[in-house]
Amino acid sequence: MEAIRNIHGAINEHEVKLFALSTCGWCKKTKKLLEELDIEYLCIDFDLLSDDDKKTIKEELKEFNPAISFPTIIIDQGEEVIVGFKEDRIRDVLSHED
């Protein structure tokens, strides 16, 4: 499995970047929800990165989430940051559901 990959979805109104761990249950729930909502996003599985890439990505993540915890969703380059699996918040920000 690649560490960084684009997940295609029909909804791409926002730039969505998910920082996750491939083995994390909450991260898996977040990925499943984004796919259920048909959101296009960039998925970064931190634990699958090379050591050099981990340093770079860790610095980027630290800007938005100093605790460096997973999952972290960065929307529109930080206009919205969701830390943890917060289903209602994710739906509110990214979906068109009423």
Domains recognised in the chain with CATH numbers: 4-94 (3.40.30.10)
Q: Is the pLDDT of residue 98 over 50?
A: no
Are 94 and 39 in contact, with CB atoms under 8 Å apart?
Answer: yes
Q: Measured between alpha carbons, how far is 38 from 96 in angstroms, rounded to an integer?
A: 11
* pLDDT tens-digit series, residues 37-80: 999 999 999 999 999 999 999 999 999 999 999 999 999 999 99
Mean pLDDT of the chain: 95
pLDDT of residue 95: 81
Check residue 4 and give its pLDDT. 96
Query: What's the CA gap between 24 and 12, in Å, rounded?
Result: 25
pTM, two decimal places:
0.94
d(CA 85, CA 79): 18
Q: What does the DSSP 8-state code read for residue 78?
A: G
